[in-house]
Chain A
Amino acid sequence: MRKIILAMLCACLGGGAWGYEIQAQRLFSAGDGAPVLRIISTGDLELFAPLIIAFQAQNPNISIDYTVASSGALYAAIAEEGATFDVALSSAMDLQTKLANDGFALTQISTNTAALPDWARWADRIFAFTQEPAVVLISRAGIGDLPVPQTRQDLIALLRDNPELFMGRVGTYDLRLSGLGYLFATQDARQSDAYWRLAEVMGSLSPRLYCCSSDMINDIASGELLVAYNVIGSYADARQEPSDSVIYLIDYTHVMLRTALIPASAPNPDLGGLFVDFLIGPQGRAEIRSQTGLPPIDGAALAEFSHFRPIPMGAGLLVYLDQLKHRAFLDEWIAAMVQPEN
């Protein structure tokens, strides 16, 4: 298992190096001598900064150190390095579940955690604070009059029927780099056999593979990419991309739950607990919506759309992290997506 993660890390870093790579960091200081709440997160600093500030407004005597890393790096930091963070926020539900399962997370029990619906938490260790759907981003301008796909079948048909248009201009996560991408792909494979057909079709179109949603959004915006698959829809909304470019496929749309946990190696687990309670509490939810634009946990909103399918939390998420399974899946994905032409 570790080998896989390390491999992912190495790939991300493009070389062999111990330790995890920090993508960004900022200290929100509350003055000298104030206790420091250390957060490691996969979320963009610009996206989450307003939320941090809102928290600090509530707790002016706490300094916050916010570090951004990839989901793989975050996992390695906690599981292997024993890095001293008080809160770990990640969109990779499976990696978070593994951290919690393997004993790297502390339990947190409070009125706020009890108020969370059952599908938004697991084992009193992982707490979801956003529900973010995986969408298809389309350049409307790019596809012109072609029918906007509503289902994956539509998408497959669209791509297969217009190979010259879409050649080299379709994109999705590189599963070797993105933990979230792997999660989305494995869930897709579970959900429907259309996924592998889609993968094959995409694979034949020399797809671009990305580490992150934001890059895909950028490329769609610039027109380099015409179709991006499994983008985090809320990022696109947050960046105020034109709404007609965001497609929620109606056969099913997976909803990723961004989760928080308190690492076992936390130096200030009380501060971590305070932040977690804030995130999942009613005030936190309001701040998340207003400050970040991300959808907070809301069962009613999910129920509104029958095709929205939240990824289920639980030990099942560990299955695809099994090394044999992971290797087998990746092999198959590479065979489909990374075709000899590349």
Chain B
Amino acid sequence: MKAPRPSQSLRRRLLIQLLGVAAVLSALIYFGVRAIAEQAAEATQDNILGASATTIAEELGAQDGEIVVDIPYAAFSMLGAINAERVFYRIETDAETLTGYDDLPLPAIAPSLLAPVYYTINYRGVGLRVVALQRLVTVQDRPVVVTIIVGQTRNGHAAITSRVANLAASLGIGFFILAGLLNWVATERALGPVRRVALAVGRRGPADLSPLRQPMPRELAPLSTALNDFMARLRAALTRTETFIAEAAHHVRTPLATVRSQAEIALRLAETEDSRRALRAVIRAVEESGRSAGQLLDHAMVTFRSEHLEPAEVDLSEMLSHALRALTPSADIKDVTLQVSPLDTPAKVLGDQLLIESAIRNMLDNAIKYTPADSTVTISLGQVGGSHVLEICDQGRGLAGADLAALSIRFERGNNVADVVGSGLGLTIIQEVATSHGGSFTLAQMTEGVCAKLSLPCYVPA
């Protein structure tokens, strides 16, 4: 039966979703780190720029009614100490530009005497980061506000930015990989219970329809309930099938019993040899039907049960005792002696009790059927290697060279048992029981008769 194609794997969905989250977080880390680092870098660069402007501001003075400024060497040499930055500056009052690049743009918001203003502009085709600060200079007892603007190119900033971007990218990727690994681990662990439940169900024997008692996560409880319901229904269906087989038996055999009784009565009252012969034939036919019906039903049961084996501990010697007790009367009728070696030690095997008992009964029944009247059937139960071996030897006519396999094929009968009632099903049944229990069944021709040997693996409780 082909398994239905599974829709999206749970694990894959979980993984993809978790990876999606990880990707989002990685991206956030990337952008976050970049933004923070760039801000910090800009702040640092701004500080240097501010320091440069400040050193210039320190050199402001008034001389002869004019504002003078002696730009210190350090003011420009400190800029671009790390990267060669181009420098632009402008020192101006309201009235005029005192010195510097007179087209260097002023900030949109004027700085105050207390705080400088930082701004970014495009000037002469390059981006500049500019600081503007104000100082008060007293010229001839009048205060004059001087604005000092210093700007530099952003190569240093760009260099830091790209380095930070790489770092942030590495962090982001590293985080993503790590998150991916952790996600994978977490997913495996989360799905562990599901897998365990699946394994537990899978490990059950084919006939194990007991409810699931495996502890499982709450989310799987509805599944477990549904599964148990399903198994209950299956159990019911199986029981119905077994019941049906039993019912069928009843409805076939009861009429046969009627026919046989009547035939026997008629035979008793028969006066002519012809009638007697006819009636004997009837009785024989009924017996054969009954046997066939019995064995068919037996076989159906064996097949059914073999497919749904419920192994339990079975004591072969106990089974043998039951079978002997059940069949001793049939042996007595033929004056067949059942010679049994003592059955005091238990011989434990792992298997289906009904199937094994059925096989033993069939073996015994077969021996009693094929051995002549007044003969002996020897029965022994022993241990050989790791198996228990039941051997039943009769003094019957033997197999005439046919081998076991051929006999076992349904309805095949050996050609020297033509007048012995019974289909070949008995041997098939025993063979199937032996196979399904991991044992073996052999028929061997001995000098005096046939020996049937059933061997089943010993059961050693763990």
Contact between chain A and chain B defined by CB under 8 Å: yes
Chain A min CB distance to B114 (Å)? 26
Cα-based distance from A328 to B77 in the complex (angstroms): 20
Q: When A103-B125, A324-B98, A324-B99 are in contact, do A314 and B84 touch as well, CB less than 8 Å?
A: yes
In the complex, the answer to whether B71 meets A319 with C-beta atoms within 8 Å is yes
Q: Determine the residue in chain A with the shortest Cβ distance to B97.
A: A323
Which listed residue (A101, A124, A320) contacts B87, Cβ 8 A? A101
Known interface pairs A123-B86, A324-B69, A325-B70. Does A318 touch B76 (Cβ–Cβ under 8 Å)? yes
User: In the bound complex, what is the Cα–Cα distance between A248 and B251 (angstroms)?
Assistant: 135
Residues of B53-86 at the interface with A, using a CB-CB cut-off of 8 Å, are 68-77, 79-81, 84-86
Q: Which residues of A contact B213 (CB under 8 A)?
A: none
A102 interface contact, C-beta 8 A: yes
Q: Is B68 in contact with A328, judged by CB distance below 8 angstroms?
A: yes
In the assembled complex, how far is the CB of residue A118 from the closest CB belonging to chain B, in whole angstroms?
9
Interface size on B, residues (CB 8 A): 29
A319, B72: Cβ atoms under 8 Å?
yes
Cα A313 to Cα B72 with chains together (Å)? 16
* A to B contact number (C-beta, < 8 Å): 66
Distance A323 CA – B162 CA, assembled complex (angstroms): 37
Within 8 A of B (CB), among A264-314: 312-314
Chain A proximity of B85: nearest CB distance (Å): 7
Among residues of A, the one whose C-beta sits closest to the C-beta of B77 is: A316
Q: How far is the CA of A322 from the CA of B101 in the complex (A)?
A: 10
If the complex has contacts A100-B86, A103-B124, A123-B84, are A319 and B68 also in contact, measured as CB distance less than 8 A?
Answer: no
Using Cβ atoms and an 8 Å threshold, which residues of chain A touch B88?
Answer: 101
Q: A316-B73, A318-B76, A328-B70 are in contact. Are A323 and B99 (CB under 8 A)?
A: yes
Identify B100's interface contact among A101, A122, A322, A328, CB under 8 A. Answer: A322
- A320→B87 CA distance, assembly (Å): 13
Give the docked Cα–Cα distance between A319 and B74 (Å): 9
Q: Which of B73, B75, B79 has the most CB of A within 10 A?
A: B73
Question: Do B126 and A103 touch (CB < 8 A)?
Answer: yes
Residue on B with the closest CB to A326?
Answer: B99
State in angstroms the CA–CA spacing of A323 and B69 once bound together: 10
Interface-centre pick from A312, A313, A315 (highest chain B CB count, 10 A):
A315
* B87 lies within 8 A of A315 (CB): yes
A315 engages B70 (CB within 8 Å): no
- CA of A100 to CA of B155 in the docked complex: distance in angstroms? 15
Would you give the shortest CB distance from B236 to chain A, in whole angstroms? Answer: 87
How far, in whole Å, are A124 and B159 apart by their CA atoms in the complex?
A: 15
Chain A residues lying within 8 Å of B124, measured Cβ to Cβ, are 102-103
> B81, B99, B126, B155: which contacts A322 (Cβ < 8 A)?
B99
A residues near B79, Cβ cutoff 8 Å: 315
Query: Bound state CA distance, A155 and B152, in angstroms?
Result: 41
User: Min CB distance, A187 to chain B, in Å?
Assistant: 10
- List, in ascending order, chain B residues with CB within 8 A of A319's CB: 71-73, 75-77
CB-CB under 8 A from B80, the residues of chain A are: 314-315
Please state if A312 and B87 are interface contacts (CB–CB under 8 Å): no
Q: Which A residues lie within 8 Å of B91 (CB)?
A: 324
A-B residue pairs in contact (CB < 8 Å), sample of 16: A103-B124, A123-B155, A314-B80, A314-B81, A315-B80, A315-B87, A316-B73, A318-B76, A318-B87, A319-B73, A320-B73, A324-B68, A324-B71, A324-B98, A325-B69, A328-B70
